[in-house]
Amino acid sequence: MDYYMLFSLNKHKIENRLQFCQKRSQYFLLFNVLYRVQSIYHTLKSIVSNQINLSLIPLLIFTNHAQASDFVNFQSIDTSLYLQFENKVAPQKTISPIIEAYGDYKIGDMYVYSIWQNSLQHDYQDDKSTYYYKFVPRLSASKITGYDLSYGPLKDVLFAQWIAKTKNVKYDYFPGISLDWQVPGFSWLRTLFYFENNAKGNWNDQRIHIDYAIPFNNQLGDFRIVGTLDYTLGLHDNPEMLEFKPELHYDLGKKLGYQSGHLWTGLVLNTTKNKYKIKDTPYYRTNQFSYGVFIRYSFF
């Protein structure tokens, strides 16, 4: 009986010690991830203190590792042509070539977007063309630390940057945190939280950005719904801005007998409240419901 009690007591002590060790390892993992993300943030912040270097950030992040043969997991380039109608602030009718690129890498990923917007209105008085481009490099906490941070629907936590340039306007720089999700029915779903440092050099607003893709098919062929939602909080006397832009993509290439996933066509809607953060008034309308069509080709 005494031996049994002694065994039970020792077993209880061992179980307590194991639980303590497990909790200690979890705290160490969390501290390690936070320390690495914080170090990356301070390094990048010191780099971008000089606005001249903003456009070099994606290169600084990725170039050092570009020589590694296993650095690139996937890369693609999309070229598109959009016709858009019923725009506000900008010309009412526009035609816009767009180039997009996406790369998945050993330490994160990067999305690049560029648009050259041209007016189709001969009587439009302002600048008849403009351009806009942005880089969104992201550093993956899971990839950098080597720990799997997924939990339930959460796939990964990333440090993100939004670096944007508009014609005749200085750079915007939005650092933030991204949460990637793994949700049934979605090809991807990402939620990003940004602190806005706008072209005037003011940290005066915050932004929530969501982008997603939902594939589906029926008797007509293969489709996907791809879209973005942007919401700015309206801090420091800025008006709130809300932009919801869903697109319906149809795999035209597959329907014509070619390889799937390359040639797409479809429709786009753009609903915006206070476009470009310009307050909508009866005298100057900035609330928008525009629509358009596009054709796209993906290289990968």
Per-residue pLDDT for the chain (300 aa), expressed as one digit of tens each?
444 333 344 444 444 554 544 444 444 444 444 444 445 444 444 444 444 344 444 444 444 444 445 899 999 999 999 999 999 988 899 999 999 999 999 999 999 999 999 999 888 878 889 999 999 999 999 999 999 999 999 999 999 999 999 999 889 999 999 999 999 999 999 999 999 987 666 788 999 999 999 999 999 999 999 999 999 999 888 899 999 999 999 999 999 999 999 999 999 999 999 998 889 899 999 999 999 999 999 998
Determine phi and psi for 182, rounding to 5 degrees: -115, 100
* 110 lies in the same domain as 217: yes
Cα–Cα nearest to 159, from 292, 34, 2: 34
Given this model, what pLDDT does residue 277 score?
87
Return the number of other C-beta atoms located less than 10 Å from residue 256's C-beta.
8
Q: Which range marks the domain in which residue 277 is found? A: 63-299
Q: Are residues 87 and 32 in the same domain?
A: no
Residue 195 Cα distances to 97, 177, 203, 220, 276, angstroms: 29, 9, 7, 43, 16
pLDDT of residue 201: 67
In a shared domain, residues 180 and 100: yes
Shared domain check, 69 and 25 = no
Residue written as tokens 């179980």? 15
Domain match, 166 and 208 both: yes
Q: Identify whether residues 127 and 215 lie together within a single domain.
A: yes
